[in-house]
Structure 1
């Protein structure tokens, strides 16, 4: 029976590896051609200025007669100017756009908001700006019905995780893969220092360790199966 069990275990690990790649790459930043195209389209002039962090151009556009239309404009991927600024880490532009009334919690075509964009990029400064301006840490985002916290936990972005916890992100949200932030930190993590710090932050905040994946496995059992001894020890503590 042992070879069969080992085969099934390896198959399961292969599935996790396959799943981790699309999750990590699901977010689509504007490519060079798209960015170059913003300047050539009058409807996307705000996107162009936001992505470049050109505050003078932003001020001129936001005080002009087309401001309301430009704030609502979307590119071919459904990004508004805030999404573009978040991808580029242009915090000054983000502040100008927020003051002008852009939707801080707007979702683009893959259902990412600016908070999740900053979380996936491990951009703590941009995330801090967005949260201070009133963007939500609680939205359900992405094709996986997840949250910014789940995405950050998956990637081991421990500083981002702590910011999102402080902003009252839902600790125990379950995505459509049936994983919480704590489970993703184990099953899609590397078991190294940053994922250990992520697990510690989630546990310290009160994340539930009894919630299981679809196969009924707890975070502790998942850590044991992967040989993540440091994380296993944290999860085993009462």
Structure 2
């Protein structure tokens, strides 16, 4: 028998065994030093058996990995071309994913080399893996959820690498995988999901709780910290209950978490959606709980300490007190004493929360105090966290044209800062509230007219709504556009 004939016979028998599922026949046809090459790259990592496998044991493992998830429902050897000890083979197969019944079919090619011993020593595949990738990803969300629930951080990392969505949501619980990991207090997995794009701001679809709510309920401080450091809103409100994370920390009796959230300026003067203030709710809990009183009393002490600190902070912030009263003389005296212009007012769920004195002065119309603060080096672009506004927003929103002039004339003023709440620039706000003079000051200073708010509106759109299409200011904005 010629070498080519022997090669054809070996390869034909091999793929007959593949088609019939005769694994032992396949193993008998390959050499102990077989190199089984199923090329892999960064886009095909979802297919479990790709790679270079050496020796019979590794080939057996490659087959096992493939068979663990999918069944070959149809296999056909379509063509064999032989030259000496090499065979080029074209095959067809149909595969069904066992869990999802997702089915794909495709042709693929293989190059095999047969040795003098009549065994296959080298076996390499050539194929478009996109269909198989789609099949093996068909249950990847379920596998990710199972790995998260099992606290299998390495498996989670692998599945994310293979294309799993870090924001996959479980239909039954309404929780994303990040919220699930947070609820388990699994800080390591939470960190991996966040790194892969897990959304720290999303809410569960049943009760509206965030990942931070879930972590707080579990009481794992490390997980709570990771989420807060990733940007989680400390005062996020669940739409069904009105609970903030702090309310949940009190309810679940986690004084260490309470302490941390209080240090992050969590609000104390907030209420549930069923009529209790935070304090009333906590007092109710103190009365009805028969166990864990020591933890609740520890949390109660922390709240009282924070309330005292807030009161002391309000009393000590003489610069904002003088600004609020419009007392220019007192403001100048405090600045001469070295008062810190950037010191923020304590968060007490009030109108001045986390404001600097300049933000308050610009809002309340105290022009000379604005000048004094700017002369003392106050940050002209300080942002307050409630609306995400800068002093220029505050001034135009309230129609303070003189303060608007002072601010736009200050070097470094961002004329076009877009607020976090609605994406409006100061020009948007001036037009929205009908303050033509403020708008003209901004336009003369070079404010942009092409920026859009979160509602898609430009300054021209707002001017048209507020002043009408025939107004002179609307015409000027149209000309600039």
Please indicate, yes or no, whether the TM-score normalized by the shorter chain is above 0.5: yes
SS of 1:71's equivalent in the other structure is: coil
Whether 1:92 and 2:193 are equivalent positions in the alignment is no
- Name the CA distance, whole Å, in 1 between partners of 2:170 and 2:268: 33
- In structure 2, the partner of 1:206 is 307
TM-score (norm 2): 0.32
Which deviations, in whole Å up to 9, do the C-alpha atoms of 1:88-112 show, x marking residues without a partner? 2221110011111111122112111
Is residue 52–residue 90 contact of structure 1 (8 Å, CA) maintained in 2?
Answer: no
* Equivalent residue in structure 1 for 2:201, among 97, 101, 105: 105
Q: Secondary structure at the match of 1:176?
A: coil
CA distance in structure 2 between the aligned counterparts of 1:155 and 1:54, rounded to whole angstroms: 26
Q: Distance in 1 between matches of 2:226 and 2:185?
A: 10
Q: Residues 55-106 of structure 1, C-alpha deviation per residue, up to 9 Å, x if partnerless?
A: 3222222223x34xx2232112221111111122221110011111111122
Instruction: From the two aligned structures, give the one with the greater helix fraction.
Output: 1
Counterpart position of 1:82: 178
How many Å apart are 1:126 and its aligned residue?
A: 2.1
User: 1:188-203 maps to which residues of 2 (within 5 A)?
Assistant: 188-189=285-286, 190=289, 192-203=293-304
Say if 1:74 and 1:187 are closer, same or farther in 2 by CA, change over 3 A. Answer: same
- Tell me, what secondary structure is at the counterpart of 1:171? coil
Q: Which runs of 5 or more residues in structure 2 are unaligned? A: 1-98, 100-137, 312-481
Q: Matched residues in 2 for 1:156 and 1:89: separation?
A: 15
Q: How does 1:33-112 map to 2 (within 5 A)?
A: 41-64=139-162, 66-67=163-164, 70-76=165-171, 77-108=173-204, 109-112=206-209
Q: Is the 8 A contact 1:46 1:58 kept in 2?
A: yes
SS at match of 1:206: helix
Correspondence 1:1-238 to 2 at 5 A: 41-64=139-162, 66-67=163-164, 70-76=165-171, 77-108=173-204, 109-141=206-238, 143-189=240-286, 190=289, 192-206=293-307
Give the distance between the partners of 1:92 and 1:144, measured in 2 at CA. Answer: 29
Contact residue 95 and residue 133 of structure 1 kept, 8 A? no
User: What's the CA shift string for 1:176-216, capped at 9, x where partnerless?
Assistant: 1222332222112248322222122112112899xxxxxxx
| CA–CA distance in structure 1, aligned partners of residues 277 and 229 of structure 2 | 25
Q: How many pairs are equivalent?
A: 168
Contact 1:120/1:151, CA 8 A, preserved across alignment: yes
State the shift of 1:131 in Å. Answer: 2.0
Deviation at 1:41, TM superposition (A): 4.0
Structure 1 runs of 4+ with >6 Å offset: none
Q: Residue 207 of structure 2 aligns to a residue in which SS? A: coil
The separation in 1 between residues aligned to 2:183 and 2:231, in whole angstroms, is 18
Higher relative contact order, structure no. (Cα contacts within 8 Å, ≥ 6 residues apart): 1
Asked whether the 8 Å contact 1:155–1:185 carries over to 2, the reply is no
- How far apart are the structure 2 equivalents of 1:123 and 1:56? 20
Secondary structure of the corresponding residue to residue 204 of structure 1: helix
**Radius of gyration: which is bigger?**
2
TM-score, reference length from structure 1: 0.63
Counterparts of 1:141 and 1:175, CA distance in 2: 9
